[in-house]
Every structure is written in C-alpha cells, then in structure tokens.
Amino acid sequence: MDQKLHPCSMVIFGATGNLASIKLLPAMYHLEAKNRLPESMGFIAFARREWALDDWLEFMKLALQNKLGERFDNAIYERFAARFSYVKGELHDVESYRRLVEELGKPRPGVCSNVVFYLAIKPTEFTAVINNLDVVGLNKPRGLHRVVVEKPFGEDIESARMLNELMHRHFNEDQIFRIDHFLGKETVQNLLVFRFANTLIEPLWNRNFIDHVQITVAEDIGIGSRADYYDKAGALRDMLQNHLMQLLTVVAMEPPPSMEADALRDEKVKVLRSIRPIPKRAIHAHAFRAQYAEGIVNGKQVKGYQQEEGVEPNSATETFVAAKFYIDNWRWRGVPFYLRTGKRMPRQMSMIAVRFRHPPQQLFRETSTEVIEPNWALLSIQPEESMQMEIHSKQPGLGMNTRVIQMNASYHTGDEVSMDAYEALLLDVIEGDRTLFIRFDEVEWSWRVVDPILKYWEQERQFIHTYPAGSWGLHEANRLFDTEDQEWRNEL
Ligand code: BG6
C-alpha cells in the first residue's frame, strides 16, 4: 500500500447538497481545468435522488454553470464529467453502501491506491456514514483510505469527543482530514509569511505594541436553503468555533520550529490552550448574539431570518456573534481579541485588523495635528486579498499636518489569479498533505473556549436581539470593548 499513489476515487456524500454545488464541484472543475487531477481519479456522487448518471450530470452541469457563469467551458466540463459515476443511496441504509462497494470495484485507468470519502453532509449524519463504511468493509485495509470531514466537528465538546472516538475506531489519525477551508485561503497562508518571513513585523507583534486585534467575517448572504442545518447550528458553531478561531490561532501563534504539519498544529494548540476560559457570570461582557430581521442588502429587500424557509417559529438561533477573548501567555497577556461574524451584513468583508498602541508621547499635540490615530495592520481575506499598513506621514506644505497613508504590502498583482481555498485543500487531500487540516486537539480546545457561551445561550432561548439585514449589527455589540476609543473597523 503506497500512500504516495493518488486516490482512485473520491466519493462525495451529499453530492446534491449546497456545499457540493457551491464549493466542491467548482473547485474540482477548476483543478480539472488546470490539469491538476490525476488521470486515474474518478468521482462517485452519492445522493438520495432516484437518478441515472445522466440526470446527475445534468444537475452538476447546471450547478457549475450557475456558479461559473461565463467562465464555464464545455470542453473542460466534458472531461470532468467523464470521471463521474452516480450511486443512489441513503446515508442510513447499508444496502446503499453495498452498491458503493460494487461501484468502487470497477476497474480504473492508471495506477492508484486509495479512496477518499468526502463527508459533505450535515454533522448529524457523520456517525451513520462512518458506521456504514465499517459494516461494508470500506474502512479496510486499515490505514489506506482517507476521510474528509467538514466542520463543525461535533456540536459541542462532548459530541466532538464521541465523534472522534468513533472515527478512530475505524480510521487512523493520518487518514482523517478535518477540513476548515479558511486555512486554504491565500491571505491566511500569507499571514504566516507576513509574520515569519519579515523581521520588520515580528518584533512588534506582541502586547508591548499591539492594542487589540479584530477578526471580522461579514457576509451579505443569508442562510439560503440551509435552515435544516443552520437553525440548529447558529453562527457560533457554524463560523466562530472553527473559521474565526483558526484565524485567531494563525495571528497569535509562536513561530513553529518548522512548517511541518504537526509543528504548526502544536503552536496553534498552545494558543487555544492559553485562551482564558470565560466564567458564566462574564458571558454577557464577552459575547453578544443577534439575528437578522428583514432589511435591504445591496439595494434589495430581503427576508428576516424568522421568515426564511425551514426556520423554526420563534427560533433564537444567532446569525451574528461577537466575542472577546484574552490569550493568557507571555506575548498576548491583556490584549483583547475581538471576533465577529454575521450574515446579511451590508457586504462581504473578511478582515484581520490589528491596531497598534499610540506612540508613547503625543509630540504633535501643540500643532494642528492634535491626537494622532494609531497605526493599523489590515489583512483583508475577501473579497479583496490584500495587506496594508496604515502609517502617518507629513502632509506636504508649510503646516505641521499629518495624514494617514496606506502602505500596500499586497502580494497580488492584478493579473495573478489566486487559487480558491477548496481547490488548494482538495489537492492536499489528493496528495495526502495534512498541514492545513485540523488536528483533534485543536477542535477540542476550540470547543472548550466556546462551550460556556453555547451552554449559556442554550438556557436563554426566549429572547434574541435583532438587527436589520444590511446593517453592521447592533450598538450593543460595542459593550465588548475594553476602552472607549476601541470600535469595530468596517472599512479597509
Ligand atoms: C461555511 C459556513 O463554512 O463558510 C457558511 O458554513 C459560510 O455559513 C461559509 O457562508 C463562508 O465561506 P466563504 O469561503 O464563502 O467565505
């Protein structure tokens, strides 16, 4: 069994779901376009619908056309489509898995070794799939195949541990790829370079120079057709426990001894372990949640969360969450990390904003400049991928006036096309590189951090603040700030 050989097949559980249509299939198609898919590789779409292969292909073509628009190319599509087969199956039905075994048994061109099982399904279904793979022997021989698990991994710390135990009963750790696609985003990876390849930055990256850190992931979209999953999850489980916490670890981690998968993950875990636990009585001061009401986004009237199809009446599920964490270690003690994420905000904007401290002396106080604004380092993740530093310079002319200029440290030039996060990560799965995947102790420590908030909110299901869709949330979220001069930064 050679782990270096490419997979023969990737089975997509949940092939007709939202994630597959919006992210996975387009990413795979792009890899096809770039000739990055191994020749031997086939895909098996596993879904419930009573379909023949042609029906599936029609569905997939439409999904790709919707997503790619003018970039859709029929010749590439034909090549891509030729790799597919379709297995009609129920996740809970063992017979379906027997059909899968049969399909996987069909000969493939080229030399290949393992199968990748991609669980693009609701977290509540993970257990059924893992158990059924075992029943039909698809986890054998032990150590060979790969399983990709989407987030959230579990719904709280206990269920995450149970899921992990179950997975380890059937798979070795190096077969498990816990995906957090934010780690595949270019700016996130570039943050590592920004911090650890520049002697200019790292000496300033600590409590002596940094006032606070803000991590924002704002989306203009609502929950679409995902109420079934989202209404039980909410923004804390859907985004903050995983994506935002991962961003926090990359901002705060110590330089690892090497860029090896485990060296990197060890440092991330140290950060998570150092996050000060939030006691129950302090939840209110550390976390804020809200839900979108109807409003206007990008000039269009949109429904409130309660009116979305499939949402429970009077649901108190949060679509916006803001939280404050302290990392009690040598580097960060006393520096607040403010995290926030929300749906139906005015626009898509994901950014890490680091505010530096004021200079020790306001030398220009006697001049027309008065108080100088602090410096910021701004790392925009999307829609732009950019990095800039805000610094002061003198305005040309007679007076002693300063102005803020933005030093652009973006690595992107206009004509360079970056890879989509899922493309990069799927390629890693195919090649067996786990560097950008999550180890279980990261998941566990990250649940430990958010668990007190989850448990507290679960007891308070009667009331939730609402914000009009298309706004930046509510003034109440400002109660998290430690000082009066701190405020959310909504612009680059
Ligand atoms: C997913 C969440 O993990 O990330 C979605 O489940 C969210 O709710 C999405 O919309 C955001 O990812 P991206 O890459 O589109 O910013």
> For 192-207, what is the mean pLDDT?
92
- For the chain, which residues make up each domain, given as ranges? 7-150, 183-421+440-480
| Ligand 1 atom nearest residue 421's Cα | 14
Q: Is 220 in the pocket of ligand 1 (CB under 6 A)?
A: no
Can you say whether the dihedral through the CA atoms of 445, 446, 447, 449 is positive or negative? positive
Per-residue pLDDT tens over the stretch 52-103 = 999 999 999 999 999 999 999 999 999 999 999 999 999 999 999 999 999 9
| Ligand 1 atom nearest residue 230's Cα | 8
Question: Residue 49 is encoded by which pair of tokens?
Answer: 């619908």
Tell me how far the alpha carbon of residue 60 lies from the centroid of ligand 1, in angstroms.
20
pLDDT over 60 (residue 432): yes
In the block, tokens 């939730």 appear at: 464
Per-residue pLDDT tens over the stretch 212-226 = 999 999 999 999 999
Q: Is 423 in the pocket of ligand 1 (CB under 6 A)?
A: no
Per-residue pLDDT tens over the stretch 97-133 = 999 999 999 887 778 889 999 999 998 899 999 999 9
- The one-letter amino acid at 4: K
Q: Is 284 a catalytic residue?
A: no
Measured at the alpha carbon of residue 241, what is the angle toward residues 446 and 23, in degrees to the nearest 5? 125
pLDDT over 90 (residue 171): yes
| Ligand 1 atom nearest residue 223's Cα | 8
pLDDT band of 419, cuts 50, 70, 90: confident
CATH annotation of 7-150: 3.40.50.720
pLDDT over 50 (residue 2): no
- The one-letter amino acid at 196: F
pLDDT over 70 (residue 4): no
Can you say whether the dihedral through the CA atoms of 440, 445, 451, 453 is positive or negative? negative
Helical residues (DSSP H) of 399-478, grouped into ranges: 421-431, 440-459
Tell me how far the alpha carbon of residue 461 lies from the centroid of ligand 1, in angstroms.
25
* pTM: predicted TM-score of the whole model, two decimal places: 0.94
pLDDT over 50 (residue 1): no
CATH annotation of 183-421+440-480: 3.30.360.10
Q: Is 219 in the pocket of ligand 1 (CB under 6 A)?
A: yes
